Amino acid sequence: MSPPAVRPVFLPRPPALVLRGRALDAGHPGVMAIVNRTRDSFWAGNRHAALEDAMAAVHEAVAQGADIVDVGGVRAGQEGEHVGAAEEVDRVVPVLEAARRAYPDLVLSVDTWRSEVARACAGIVDLVNDTWAGHDPGLVHVAAELGAGVVVSHTGGLPPRTDPVDVVYADARGADELAVVRDVLDVLSRGAQVAVEAGVPPERVLVDPTLDFGKTTRHSLVTLRHTAGVAGLGYPVLQALSRKDFVGETLDLEPQDRLEGTLAATAVAAWLGTSVFRAHDVRATRRAVDMVASIRGDRPPARAVRGEPTGGPARGGRHV
């Protein structure tokens, strides 16, 4: 009996994200470190209200292998303190300025949904991370004016700092499990087109299915399962999975215990075509995504000496 045929594995390979002269793609996945200049972030390990604490986090992230540092000044969820635009600027700009002085070649991102905050970062940031799906329609135009990239997200139509309650996705085919996936693909496709039409080059447009935002845990799991569809839109893909509620609810764990679940989700997303990962745990994420990239065949091993001849041709070797 002849052995079964071996067929190539189809693996999505979206185009590279190109920022500040650096390309992040399947062969060099990007790790975006999260630095929150807040007192109330959902995970206590990323609360850096003081400037010196925030800069210590930047230094640590770079040392651990971050390609991008994303600085935010407002908690994403509805709990926590109110932060106006002026205060948000006062929180994020000093960190970004100090990070730029310390690391002239580092890709810097600002996590905001407000045009005025992004504009205050002119000449500093390379990416505007709009996690609220164009709630401020002027934000994408500001990103274009700054020559920055932009993150296009999906939040189910909810406004900023809104937690999902009784969220249902339905379309002409009904309220089936895949309705959320179809909505994600439709919103991201249209949002990316808006960004390009506003003047953001396609290689600077990141699409993010934005798990947890406007989604129940089941919505997030099925969306993650269909990451290849997001990769098929033709833009580089960002996933923000780190210690999120969908991981906590799936495993019944609090934020401080969600690292392993996060890394499992990260590996799946990387295998299915995600190339940029927003993460609290930079070193662990760096190692996980590099390993997946090598399994996929997109990245060579850092070293490959096992079984190699130590002097002259190998004897008794076996070709595999």
pLDDT band at 163 (very low <50, low <70, confident <90, very high): confident
Report the domain count for the chain. 1
Query: What band does 174 get if pLDDT is binned at 50, 70 and 90?
Result: low
Structural domain harbouring 240: 22-296
Examine residue 6 and state whether it is found in any structural domain, yes or no. no
Task: Look at residue 261 and tell me if it is in a domain.
Answer: yes
Q: Does residue 113 lie within any of the structural domains?
A: yes
Task: Look at residue 313 and tell me if it is in a domain.
Answer: no
Instruction: Say what the pLDDT of residue 317 is.
Output: 41
How confident is the model over 43-52, as a mean pLDDT?
Answer: 79
Domain-located, residue 114: yes
Is there a domain that residue 306 lies in? no
Q: Judging by beta carbons within 10 Å of its beta carbon (0-12, 13-18, 19+), is residue 147 exposed, middle or buried?
A: middle
**Residue 17 belongs to a domain:** no
State residue 316's pLDDT score. Answer: 42
CB half-sphere exposure, 179, CA atoms < 13 A: 13
pLDDT number for residue 315: 43
Q: Within a domain: residue 8?
A: no
Q: What is the pLDDT of residues 281-304, one digit of tens each?
A: 999 999 999 999 999 999 999 999
CATH number of the domain enclosing 100: 3.20.20.20
Residue 202: CB atoms within 10 A of its CB come to 15
Residue 314 or 34, more confident: 34
* pLDDT score at 318: 42
Q: Provide mean pLDDT across the span 153-180.
A: 85
Report pLDDT digits (tens) over 175-225: 678 999 999 999 999 999 999 999 999 999 999 999 999 999 999 999 999
Whole-number mean pLDDT of the chain? 92
